Amino acid sequence: MKTTPVQILKDIFGYEHFRGPQSEIIDEVLAGRHCLVLMPTGGGKSLCYQIPSLLRPGVGIVVSPLIALMQDQVDALQELGVRASFLNSSLTPEAQRAVLRDLREGNLDLLYVAPERLNQEATIELLHSIPIALFAIDEAHCVSQWGHDFRVDYLQLSLLEQHFPEVPRIALTATADANTRAEIAERLGLVDARHFVSGFDRPNIQYRITQKQNPRQQLLRFLRREHENDAGIVYCLSRKKVDDTAAWLVEQGFTAVPYHAGLSAEQRQRNQQRFLREDSVIVVATIAFGMGIDKPDVRFIVHLDLPKSLEAYYQETGRAGRDGEPATAWMVYGLQDVIMLRQMMDASQGNEKFKRIERAKLDAMLGLCEITTCRRHALLHYFGESGPDFCGNCDACLNPVPTWDGTQAARKALSCVYRTGQRFGVNYLIDVLLGADSDKIFQNNHHQISTYGIGKELEGNAWRSVFRQLVARGFLSVDHATYGGLHLSEKARPLLKGEESIALRIDVQEPVVKPEKKSRSSTQIVADADRVLWEALRRCRKTLADENDVPPYVIFHDASLMDMVHYRPLTEQQFLGISGVGQSKLDKYGAAFLEVIRGHEA
């Protein structure tokens, strides 16, 4: 009989020690108290509710918005010998009846449910009739109307406090600034609960942001140089761009699949399964993809378009390197991204408060893009956490950004916006500054204004960089009513009047980064002398995964295989000492892996 959290951690999950605040959180829930947990992706949030569910009387109810992933989460638990199941619309009526029967008969330790299912009156009545160990609200930031993943069904989860006040509730998320945390606590009745906020830093992820020049060729160079055979995610803003980019990557010889809400549920599921279960698959996706993805060996995240907020950026980049190995978060962005996102926000149906918050979030995202100092420091600061001024693992630290005194150029640009009537886009303004011989300029009589032809000291791309940075820093605003026309903000006044100066980035061709923590593919993780055993263990894992219809990492993570290569266990007792090996995994798979290792040692 398992009686302590540490025993369960070792015997079932195969780990010797808890990480960070896991032990404290588990004790809090075991004592019947509510809590809010903010822990970075890969930090081990799931153990914080899984272990108490095994120790407290009744079944642990896990609320998750991720219908497409519940199957894999349950498969992973069942592989460990945990009695887990899920209840959502993907089940047949017969399968649903079987789950409900197990639930009533006390044959489940954990049940995953979608929020829309939990909100049904019939479900509430059912839960009142059985002992419940706890409620875990995963991806709790979905309850925030100001967050980047708001789900209407999450607003109804306040009913848990009303119907089950004595059952401990644990809300978990990887991404929430102070305002979002306060909203989660308010809506889920956790204001007086203990809040556990772990550090946001993911030191194994290298952050790199560069300007769009030829994004497809930039992406191709990035993949060829650094991630030729790795699994990764490429995020795009539109469905069309997702489809086109995925098809283009396939033409370039990569294994790539699209993922967005315009595909059928069957196609999305099929593509997601390929990503989870095959090696070296790239998913090109809108933000519809990725929440709750447990794949540990995602080596890169690419953004071909600008995210709307730092919360979205952190959440999406956090899907890389969950195994703790080096990974890359690489993004390209340009002025058009800024204009398009600001137009979308201005045209949204939200009230003025909502728009104001959204603009502030976009401004913070732009600030990270244009900053000339450590990106990790800025990212951590946004989430209320201090960090070193120099992290040594972002592009700004590895290749310090050169700057120039852009004061005069900025004044010329701002003045040109003003004198042309604050209604024209960037390309037209650049033509005016360069003194272009354009019919439109002559029709508007802008060849007669003082800023016509005064910018010939810079070429077009340099002016484009000036305008991009002025927009990003809030000196210029975008008016969607004039199809991207720029107009001056109040912030521009002191700069125009000569009361302020401004340093601008010098846009350079993206350098080839050779950091100390260069991201490595799985084949680079092990020494050449161990490569034969490593590949044999991977083949064994893939065979067992296919036989059991689960992703390979559900059998064992790469970290466990690395331990096998390093320690070469030859007995069952030695095999139990491998990270991630509990009694259930030993019973199921120990013989197969021990046979591979013994054969290699013979």
pLDDT band at 523 (very low <50, low <70, confident <90, very high): very low
Q: Distance between terminal CA atoms of the chain? A: 38
Q: Report how far residue 160's alpha carbon sits from residue 35's, in angstroms, rounded to the nearest whole number.
A: 14
CA dihedral for 512, 514, 520, 524, sign (positive or negative): positive
Q: Is the pLDDT of residue 518 over 50?
A: no
* DSSP category for residue 394: B
Tokens of 468: 């991009």
Burial class of 78 by CB neighbour count within 10 A (0 to 12, 13 to 18, 19+): middle
For residues 145-173, give the mean pLDDT: 83
Residue environment code for 537-553, b if the CB has 16+ CB neighbours within 10 A, otherwise e: bbebbeebbeeeebbbb
What φ, ψ does residue 7 adopt, rounded to 5°? -60, -45
Mean pLDDT of all residues belonging to the chain: 87
pLDDT digits (tens, 9 = 90+) for 327-337: 999 999 887 88
Please tell me whether residue 34 adopts helix, strand or coil conformation: coil
Residue 363: how many other CB atoms lie within 10 Å: 15
In this model, does residue 66 exceed pLDDT 90? no
pLDDT band with cut points at 50, 70 and 90 for residue 290:
low
How many CA within 13 A on the CB side of residue 600?
23
Confidence of residue 520 (pLDDT cuts 50, 70, 90): very low
The two structure tokens encoding residue 4: 């302590």
As a whole number of angstroms, the distance between CA 18 and CA 507 comes to 45
Q: Is residue 303 within a helix (H) or strand (E), and if so which, with residue range? A: strand 298-303
- Rounded Cα distance between 114 and 187, Å, is 18
**pLDDT the model gives residue 208:** 96
Contact status, residue 161 vs residue 169, Cβ threshold 8 Å: yes
- Percent of the chain residues topping a pLDDT of 70: 93
Query: Could you read off the pLDDT of 84-127 as tens digits, one per residue?
Result: 999 888 888 999 999 999 999 999 999 999 888 888 898 999 99
- pLDDT > 90 in the chain, percent: 50
pLDDT at 146: 55
* Residues near 273 by beta carbon (within 8 Å), at least 6 away in sequence: none
Does 522 have pLDDT greater than 70? no
Instruction: Go through the domains of the chain in sequence order and give each one's CATH number.
Output: 5-197 (3.40.50.300), 205-398 (3.40.50.300), 403-505 (1.10.10.10), 526-601 (1.10.150.80)
Q: Give the pTM.
A: 0.74
Residues 205 and 325: their CA atoms lie apart, in Å, by 8
How many CA atoms lie less than 13 Å away from 251 in the CB half-sphere? 8
* Contact between 93 and 65 (Cβ < 8 Å): no
- Distance CA(99)–CA(96), nearest Å, equals 5
- The arithmetic mean of pLDDT across residues 445-451, rounded, is 93
How far is 91 from 107, CA to CA, in rounded Å? 18
The pLDDT of 496-517, averaged and rounded, is 71
Asked whether the beta carbons of 590 and 116 are under 8 A apart, the reply is no
The tens digit of pLDDT for each residue in 183-211 reads: 899 999 999 999 998 878 899 999 999 98
Alpha helices in 31-177 (DSSP H): 47-55, 67-79, 93-104, 115-118, 121-128, 159-163
Query: Do the beta carbons of residue 140 and residue 151 sit within 8 Å?
Result: no
Q: How far apart (Å, rounded) are the C-alpha atoms in residues 472 and 489?
A: 12
Instruction: Please state which of the ranges 253-262, 513-522, 554-563 shows the lowest mean pLDDT.
Output: 513-522
Give the model's pLDDT for residue 265: 84
Q: What is the CB neighbour count within 10 angstroms for residue 176?
A: 26
Higher pLDDT, 302 or 45: 302
Query: Which pLDDT belongs to residue 517?
Result: 42
**Whose CA is closest to 425, among 547, 370, 343?**
343
Whether 307 and 318 have beta carbons less than 8 Å apart is answered as: no
pLDDT at position 513 over 80: no
Q: In which residue are the tokens 């040692």 written?
A: 601
Residue 158: the pLDDT is: 87
pLDDT, residue 147, reads: 55
pLDDT reading at 219 higher than 90: yes
Of 491, 578, 497, the closest CA to residue 541 belongs to: 578
Exposure letters 454-466 (e unless 16+ CB within 10 A, then b) = bbeebeeebbbbb
Distance of CA 567 to the CA centre of its chain: 33
- Please report which confidence band the pLDDT of residue 596 belongs to, taking 50, 70 and 90 as the band edges: very high
3-state secondary structure of 119: coil
Residue written as token pair 């302590």: 4
What torsion do the CA atoms of 385, 386, 391, 396 make, to the nearest 10 degrees?
80
Residue 384, token pair as written in the block: 């209320």
